[in-house]
Amino acid sequence: MEKNVKSIILAAGKGTRMKSETPKVLHKIFNKELLGYVLDEVNKTGEISENFVIVGHKAEEVEKFVENHYENAKCLLQSPQLGTGHAAFQAYEDLKGFEGEVIILNGDIPLLTTGTLKKFIENHRKNNAALTVLSAIFENPQNYGRIIRDENGNLSAIVEEKDATPEQKAVNEINTGVYLLDWAKVSPAFLNLDSNNAQGEYYLTDIVKWTISNGLKAQSFILEDNTESFGINSKAQLAQAAKILKNRVINRLLEDGVTIVDPETTYISPDTEIAPDVIIYPCTYIEGKNKIGKDCKIGPFARLRGGVELGEGVKIGNFVEIKNSKIKNHTNVSHLSYVGDSELGSNVNIGAGTITANYNHATKEKFCTKINDGASTGSNSVLVAPVELGENASIGAGTVVSKDIPAFALGLTRAPLKIFADWFKKSK
């Protein structure tokens, strides 16, 4: 399928209410940036050829994130910041001559889904619209721009709350800030924006007024689930979005045959794949991108930090942390252990309190630990990477492993036990 859609993602704002030095769009849910959610969902539509990310506040940080993660995205600087219409206009030169569709959306809406975006695009094309606004219905639409319709129910304008009359404020259909436009037809609107409003800014919503006044078709497409329009402007809203997202993920996993003992205390990222018949025990936190095979048991009080692949029948015990590791079938990682940057074979047994020491704090390098099929570690072992345990090798309790252990060998570092008879009697 030919990709003939480009996106403009508004990510220039400071996010003053976040009260943080971190740019708003780089705040995270499940250790993934808000902007990352938006870019991923847009890209997964399969329609997007290029994304333009409009940056402003701490532009270098946002640009670095985009450059490191997205090949089809280009950052454009908005300076000074004169409103949403001015922000989108920063892509005007790059889009000269483009004859496809452009979707414009904010970089702080992590709950918007690929499915909704696909329906949005399909509806726009089906109705031969020049411009489509994504709208939502709220019982209390305070602080949102209102969708205003004429006597025939057709879209006539979008009015910001600060500029709205009491009658307009009573409208409960709101603008989500997501637009789809036929670029060749609607792009001249950006040359006709003005700042004659309460804020003295160039509003993106004014392109709707321009579209209608020029005899072009403008419409709105109402969201089925209004939580998808949820924008992040504070830490409280960030936490609220995280809870909505985790509930959405858990409900889907339950329908797919995953057992989640306590959904209230379990957090699982949307980028984690979990096969049926997996059991997730309470107070488990799974972030990042992971893949978990059938019949695994995880928790309670376990944490997967991303980059984790579990085969079938793997057991991750309580108070275990796993990061960037592949673990094959029927391996057990017992309680109070840390496994990072590691490869574990099948039928491996990791004793309680085992640590893979994978990080050199002096050089800032991380190294791999490899444990082959059938190997085992005793309680409170430390494996200093890079290191490898051969097949069926064994490590005694309390051992510090600093070199490779051959197959079927026993590795042991333990000081002789000394017993001082009647020591307590003498000390008293």
CA 110 from chain center: how many Å? 7
- Tokens for 384, please give them: 């200093």
In terms of Cα–Cα distance, which of 205, 202, 279, 269 is closest to 242? 269
**Distance between CA atoms of 69 and 60, rounded to whole angstroms?**
14
Coil, strand or helix at 388: strand
Which residues have C-beta within 8 Å of that of residue 97, sequence separation ≥ 6?
A: none
Tokens read off for 93: 């030169």
Structure tokens at 61: 């940080």
State whether residue 17 is helix, strand or coil: helix
Q: Tell me which of 27, 86, 335, 361 is the catalytic residue.
A: 335
Three-state secondary structure of 272-316:
EEECCCCEECCCCEECCCEEECCCCEECCCCEECCCEEECCCCEE
Annotated active-site residue 69? The verdict is no
Neighbours of 319 (CB within 10 A): 17
Q: How far apart are CA 300 and CA 317, in angstroms?
A: 7
Q: Nearest 5°: phi and psi at 266? A: -110, 130
DSSP annotation of 341: S
- Catalytic positions are 335
